Amino acid sequence: MSYDPIIKQYSNVIKGLKIEECLADELFEEMKVNNEIVKIEGCNRPVIKVEKEGRRFFTYYGVPEINELWPFLNALVRISSNTVHLQADEMELAKKLKGNLKLFVTATCTHCPAVAELFYQISIVNESVNLEIYDVDVYEEYIDKYHVLSTPKIVYNEKEFPSFPPLILLKMLAKSTQ
């Protein structure tokens, strides 16, 4: 299945971003008109870095596809328009986080998109969070390093967390920050 028509529609509202990519150029072909797409040279696996006005929002290690494509495209729209869809209590908790937030996913994981949607929004509202998303089918070395037995796998400041509904997860992460 080709995602080209969907990506083309999304491209109409994704504007003003700097996207550095390696081995993911097909995904960004339609976005070149309204965004700065920079090819990273010398890498042997795909990586995508998303910035706006000099601020890095997240790094995606791999190429988002299947279940991971939708939250990725939604994140680009949200960064472009500076909008999030978090409840007030979620927003308050998201702003308390500080440090490195890693999410390990696979393209076919059915629970990963919900966590990715939340984490992308955390990176938008909180500059103190460094969000990294890893496709463990591409970056297999992280499976052993972070004990990834299933996805989604969450690591916040090198501490592992289970996946829970967004508000519960945010409370756990915020408590860990204190």
Distance CA 27, CA 25 (A): 5
pLDDT digits (tens, 9 = 90+) for 90-101: 999 999 999 999
Please, which residues have CB within 8 angstroms of residue 135's CB and are 6 or more apart in sequence?
60, 61, 62, 63, 64, 68, 105, 106, 107
pLDDT band at 162 (very low <50, low <70, confident <90, very high): confident
pLDDT digits (tens, 9 = 90+) for 28-44: 999 999 999 999 999 99
Tokens representing 144 are 């052993």
- Nearest in space to 142 (alpha carbons), one of 158, 166, 130: 158
Query: How large is the average pLDDT for residues 82-105?
Result: 96
- Give pLDDT, residue 57: 98
State what percent of residues in the chain have pLDDT above 70. Answer: 99
Structural domains of the chain in order of their starting residue, each with its CATH number: 4-177 (3.40.30.80)
- Give pLDDT, residue 61: 98
**Would you say residue 2 has pLDDT above 80?**
no
pLDDT band at 133 (very low <50, low <70, confident <90, very high): very high
- Nearest in space to 26 (alpha carbons), one of 64, 55, 68: 64
